[in-house]
Amino acid sequence: MAKQQQVVIVGGGVIGLLTAFNLASAGQHVVLLERSNVGQESSWAGGGIVSPLYPWRYSPAVTALAHWSQDFYPQLAERLFATTGVDPEVHTTGLYWLDLDDEAEALAWAQREQRPLSAVDISAAHDAVPVLGGGFSRAIYMADVANVRNPRLVKSLKAALAALPAVTIHEQCEVSGFIREGERVLGVQTSLGEIRGDQVVLAAGAWSGELLKSLGLVLPVEPVKGQMILYKCASDFLSCMVLAKGRYAIPRRDGHILIGSTLEHEGFDKTPTSSALESLKASAIELIPALAQAEVVGHWAGLRPGSPEGIPYIGPVPGLAGLWLNCGHYRNGLVLAPASCQLFANLMLGQEPIIDPAPYAPGGRI
């Protein structure tokens, strides 16, 4: 399918933006539709660690996407920075996991997958991260883990798309349903009227399942709320990411420290709560006691697109020609975006896929 077509993309998060960038860079006409402003939902709200929190707990399907993306992120960031002047700030700090229950499984996974993860003495963790709390006894470390400053990544992608000739972005454009003729999807119904295309891509994150209901399809993607807090410290305060008991601290280059995150099944409610604020502050102080004296400068919530086993849906929808999915990335949308969107472009453009697409195919899963 290398001929030029009009592709309508529903959803302007990192997945939708990067899908649009890959397709437009390959010569396709792209119309991107976003119900609010691009990148303002989970793409903005997440922490941006370029690794699953516990990579050894995932299936090979998630691992394959994660490894490809981790290796590709630095060059993606360089390309976007060179094109737009907006630096997504891929910041390689390494990551310490503390007091893991499944440390043996983690180390076995690292050996099997040849990832640079190893057990270290807790004193080495304290030497590397002097502000680390004293209540921990064991640590494992992976040196090459980075984080990306996700709001800057979104800004950079939007600027890169604005510079491409065959891209139209409609913000404040809510999609209410699909235009269907028999077994073919021809476009979408929106608050701006009908928008038609040769292909329609659903990349609407937590809202993807709701939209597919209008076609009588059940997609098991549901919103999972996550809350985060933000501190501002000196730029050299925290040198490395640290993670314990499911909570993490992520340093940005300018001294901002993100602490996350909760996992809540509250439907589409993204109201930040005082109980989550207190819980996150307690985790922050356990990880880094000096944060007890720091001021919380931000507190927000986002909605992850929860999916079974966190395996995204990438590819055409069987029985409905013209309809494609790139959604359901759950906790790892930012991690998996480069690989997911490259694989998606391979499939739509009829190219050799970067990895085996079978585990992500919507067929048999919806």
For the chain, report the end-to-end CA distance as a whole number of angstroms: 25
What pLDDT is attached to residue 80? Answer: 97
Q: Is the pLDDT assigned to residue 139 strictly greater than 90?
A: yes
Q: Is the pLDDT assigned to residue 227 strictly greater than 70?
A: yes
Q: Answer yes or no: are the C-beta atoms of 194 and 2 closer than 8 Å.
A: no
Per the structure block, which two tokens stand in for 84?
């737009």
Q: Is the pLDDT assigned to residue 273 strictly greater than 70?
A: yes
Count other C-beta atoms under 10 Å from residue 230's C-beta. Answer: 18
Task: pLDDT band for 4, please (50, 70, 90 cuts).
Answer: confident
What pLDDT is attached to residue 136? Answer: 98
CATH 3.50.50.60 in the chain is located at 6-50+152-221+308-360
Write the burial class of residue 26 (CB in 10 Å: 0-12 exposed, 13-18 middle, 19+ buried).
middle
Report the percentage of the chain scoring pLDDT > 90.
Answer: 98
Count other C-beta atoms under 10 Å from residue 153's C-beta. Answer: 28
Dihedral angle over CA of 208, 211, 217, 219, nearest 10: 20
**Cα 105 from chain centroid?**
25
What is the CATH number assigned to the segment(s) 95-143+222-306?
3.30.9.10
What pLDDT is attached to residue 364? Answer: 86
Fold of 6-50+152-221+308-360: FAD/NAD(P)-binding domain (3.50.50)
Write the pLDDT tens digit of every residue in 328-363. Answer: 999 999 999 999 999 999 999 999 999 999 999 999
Q: Answer yes or no: are the C-beta atoms of 310 and 222 closer than 8 Å.
A: no
H or E, element range at 253: none
Report the percentage of the chain scoring pLDDT > 70.
Answer: 99
Q: What DSSP designation does 309 have? A: G
CATH 3.30.9.10 in the chain is located at 95-143+222-306
d(CA 202, CA 192): 18
Maximal CA-CA distance, the chain: 66
Q: Where are the beta strands (DSSP E) in the chain?
A: 6-10, 29-33, 91-92, 95-98, 117-120, 139-142, 146-147, 167-170, 175-181, 184-190, 193-196, 199-202, 222-232, 241-244, 247-251, 256-260, 296-306, 313-316, 323-327
Q: Answer yes or no: are the C-beta atoms of 205 and 13 closer than 8 Å.
A: yes
SS3 assignment, position 299? strand
309: left (phi over 0), alpha (psi -120 to 50) or beta: left
Q: Is the pLDDT assigned to residue 138 strictly greater than 70?
A: yes
**C-alpha pair distances (Å), 287 with each of 99, 132, 232, 306:** 12, 6, 16, 27
What pLDDT is attached to residue 349? Answer: 97
What pLDDT is attached to residue 2? Answer: 52
Comparing CA positions, the residue from 258, 289, 298 lying closest to residue 147 is 258
d(CA 282, CA 321): 51
Report the DSSP pairing between strands 241-244 and 95-98.
parallel
Q: What DSSP designation does 12 have? A: -
Q: In sequence order, what DSSP letters do the residues of 84-137 get, joined into one string?
A: HS-----EE--EEEES-TTHHHHHHHHHHHT--EEEE-HHHHHHH-TT--S---
Q: Is the pLDDT assigned to residue 1 strictly greater than 90?
A: no
What pLDDT is attached to residue 366? Answer: 86
